[in-house]
Structure 1
Amino acid sequence: MRKCAVSVEIRMSDPVSISWLPDSVLLEVLSFLSVRDLIRSGRVCKRWKRMISDKTLWKHVNLTPYKLNSKIMWHFVRHWLRTSLQTLKLKGLLHSVKKQEYLTPAILQEMAKRFSCLENLHLEQTSLHSISYDCFPSTLKTLELSQCEIPMVWFNASSNQSRSLPKLENLMLNNVSSFSNHHLETVCSQSVLKTLFLSGTYRVTDIGIQKSLLFLKGLQHLKLQSCNITDIALHLIGCHLKCLQTLALTNISMTDAGLACLSSIKTLEKLWLEYSIHLSSDSIIAVCVTLPALNFLCLNGIFEGHGSIDEIKKKLPNCKVTC
């Protein structure tokens, strides 16, 4: 059954206007409210308060619109967030005048005790200098850091742990400027990653890719954007990552020779080659026709205003080509 989008205006001061809705439908309506509105809705009437306490409303929580400090964070952890919490998105004040810390080792330890289902943690504009990697809940499968600061020695497990995050499968970093080759090698050696996204991590070079690939045999999704890598890294990727399903290469210094190395990844289904101005249409065609599973190709910023795209589309009839 196809879901239809329905626009509903909720007047929290007048619960009678939608009191006729059954619990299942009201719960669906409440799921579209922000965290702030959910909390306010709990004050409307007893029925709404009971509905707001439903665990399904608190599986995926986004707190990035709000300015947080440690006191507010403690209040959320103790009084609002439920044990069913699976995804949590947080934003700090790293680039503001008041650089208040909202995450502390004590808060993370309390989260680890209370939220046994927490699998996805997204941190934005957060300083992690005072927080050890060991403090994060061991249940995490996805860790995403955007515009965060990390110390030079991070991702290291303590002496009594072989792995700090034993279940970590997905690691995404966006504009984490201090992330280096050492960080990459360390986290890859301690995790069995399926997804690795590195965007704006200019300290990552061919050497870091080389040392990390030994631990990434099962990697399925790889994104490298604005990293300091060359054809050497592409050669290594083609040799070692035989399970890749998606590969995104954006603003990377590569040539036709490096692209040719990807022809050995027969499992590749989706490929992004964005802003790689040194690639030729003949080379792209030569590589893509050897990839039997390829069904999507993005060439954004390469052949704008040229007829090469039409030729590529003609040679790849079973692949959606965008630019």
Structure 2
Amino acid sequence: MESIQTLSIISRSTSDGHQTVDDEQPNDLKIEHLQRRRSSRFTSLRFLPDSILLAVFSYLTPLDLIRCTRVCHRWYLLVSRHQQLWRRLFLRPESTCGYIGAIHVRHVEPFISVLGTRCGSALLYIDLPVELITVDVLRELAIRCPNLQYLTLDFSSAMQLHDFNDLYEFPCNLKRLCICLSEVIFLEAFMRRIYGYLSSLQTLHIIGTMEKPTISSQDDVSNYETINLGKIKASAPNLRVINLYGIGFIDDSHVEAIASGCIHLQCLALNYCIRVCGTSFKALMARCIQDAGMLAVNWSSTQLKELDLASTELSEKALLTLFAAMPKFMYLAVPFCDGFTDKVLKVLVDHGKLNGCRALDFSNTVNLSAEAMHRLLTTLPNITQHLEALSYTGNGAITEQFWIDTIRFIHKLKILIVGTPYSWFREMARRIHVDQILDSCAMHCPDLQRLEIQWDSETVRYSENSSKFIDHLRIKCPKLLSFVLPDGPYYEGTKSNFERAERSTVVRTTNMYKTSIISALHFYNELRFN
């Protein structure tokens, strides 16, 4: 430091009239300039070591990584030569929800070379649109990417398939396979080539076209079995999770074949498979369940732990018999179930069926009283101390005092859905003061991740100091990912509060988002697709 200092010549008079020279003060301007140069050196990205840059790059999407290669030659080499950055490739920009960095491939040949050089053995997940489902691409994946475990094949927009007569290589270590069906293409010619490579498969998603607007009627798709489910089942003996979504030709015979042939099956999900009635496999919850079918099952011999009876017409008598015979629940959802009454809840509690339960959904159970729910949440620690997800909406008698009394007993809560939606036609007895509810969540639920308040803006009441309660929730619940509110002044104020704290994606509106407890299912991650 002394070697670069210059003298500051300052004359000062002494008592004897002589002048002295003061050389002790440094040149402040040069010191400040030096410090600024040093600080700029250490804050520049050019001086970060490769290890730190790679750690930062690991959080980026594939599309962002491609953009990073255009910054400088050093970044290009780092991104191109380190395969661990390319573990997931999303290649369907038009089929993805949210920003995941999906890439649109315009030229197949350069893409094939990139698979081997840039991705290689580090690639774990890839989704392929129909134009990339070719012999050359699949062969490259089989040879260059031996650790590939998750593969999505999207035939949904296909009008004609490539020629697969020369397909002799296919990834053989897959753990999860997702196939999106086409309306007009039969896939047996392609599937016949890959049956021998599916022995390691544990999770299978088959996504149909039931929700496509081009389908004119249900009968149009019911006669076309575009994929042979029985052969897949025979070729994949280790299947644990099967998800059939929106497939018109699936009926009870397919369910019976799956139930009898998949000895390791732990989860079977049917959504929008309109021909399944549950007659062949009683343990399967179909969309129209009747008392006779449910009571025919020997529930005491099953290992059922998660049950969703949403919108079923089961009577109180049937539910009493069922729940008395069933084992303990880890997940129970009975929304819009008129047969679920105080008496049914008492049977569940008395038999200990809800002890240790992680998730409960009692929304819009019109015959379940608020008093019974209050007793459940305040006097039964064997239930509340394990509860992580709770949905209780649609009861006009519930006020903020109910939640102030009960939330303090549910310390592990991660998902909470409260309120009475659509109160514009259901006159509320009083306005709801949401400040106290937020304060209770902040004090007693530090792990809260998702919160939805369904009371509309006409019902919600808040004080002039509501921002303090919002601050309290935001600070005390750092894991909060989603806070859903109805449109109105309170929503706008809450959103602005979180935006000032640089958490702009947390607050959402009920017009665009809906919170559910289904993420508490044991096989939730396996059931996700697209």
- Residues 32, 183 of structure 1: CA spacing in aligned structure 2 closer, same or farther, 3 A cutoff? farther
Maintained 8 Å contact 1:105/1:131: no
> Of 49, 61, 64, which aligns to 1:34?
61
The one-letter code sitting in structure 2 at the alignment partner of 1:298 is D
> Of 143, 157, 175, which aligns to 2:231?
157
Q: Does 1:227 align with 2:287?
A: yes
- Residues 153, 195 of structure 1: CA spacing in aligned structure 2 closer, same or farther, 3 A cutoff? same
Maintained 8 Å contact 2:245/2:272: yes
Superimposed CA distance per residue, residues 260-317 of structure 1 (whole angstroms, 9 cap, x where no aligned partner): 3133332432212122233213213312442144343211232499525324434644
Q: Does 1:172 align with 2:243?
A: yes
Aligned residues: 282
Superimposed CA distance per residue, residues 17-69 of structure 1 (whole angstroms, 9 cap, x where no aligned partner): 4772544x545444443344445656762221012x23x742x5544434765
For 1:66 and 1:117, the matched residues in 2 are separated by 28
For 1:235 and 1:61, the matched residues in 2 are separated by 47
- Residues 175, 304 of structure 1: CA spacing in aligned structure 2 closer, same or farther, 3 A cutoff? farther
> How far is the alpha carbon of 1:247 from its aligned partner?
1.9
Maintained 8 Å contact 1:248/1:272: yes
Q: Does 1:50 align with 2:81?
A: yes
The 5-angstrom pairing of residues 49-198 of structure 1 reads 49-51=80-82, 53-54=83-84, 57-58=86-87, 60-66=88-94, 69-74=129-134, 77-78=138-139, 82-94=145-157, 99-100=158-159, 113-124=169-180, 126-127=182-183, 130-132=186-188, 135-136=194-195, 137-148=198-209, 151=225, 154-157=228-231, 163-191=234-262, 192-198=264-270
Map of 2:327 onto structure 1: 266
5+ residue gaps, structure 1, are 1-15, 214-221
Map of 1:310 onto structure 2: 374
Map of 2:105 onto structure 1: none
Maintained 8 Å contact 2:341/2:367: no
Q: Does 1:204 align with 2:264?
A: no
For 2:312 and 2:162, the matched residues in 1 are separated by 34
Q: Point out the structure with the larger helix share.
A: 2
- Residues 165, 172 of structure 1: CA spacing in aligned structure 2 closer, same or farther, 3 A cutoff? same
Larger Rg: 2
- Residues 65, 138 of structure 1: CA spacing in aligned structure 2 closer, same or farther, 3 A cutoff? farther
- Residues 183, 66 of structure 1: CA spacing in aligned structure 2 closer, same or farther, 3 A cutoff? same
Maintained 8 Å contact 1:244/1:265: yes
The one-letter code sitting in structure 1 at the alignment partner of 2:391 is T
- Aligned residues: CA RMSD: 3.8
Superimposed CA distance per residue, residues 100-141 of structure 1 (whole angstroms, 9 cap, x where no aligned partner): 45788669x66xx44333111234464595223664523211
For 2:293 and 2:204, the matched residues in 1 are separated by 24
- Residues 155, 145 of structure 1: CA spacing in aligned structure 2 closer, same or farther, 3 A cutoff? closer
Map of 1:252 onto structure 2: 312
Map of 1:301 onto structure 2: 364
Identity of aligned residues (%): 17
> How far is the alpha carbon of 1:235 from its aligned partner?
2.7
5+ residue gaps, structure 2, are 1-43, 96-127, 211-223, 393-530
- Residues 79, 202 of structure 1: CA spacing in aligned structure 2 closer, same or farther, 3 A cutoff? same
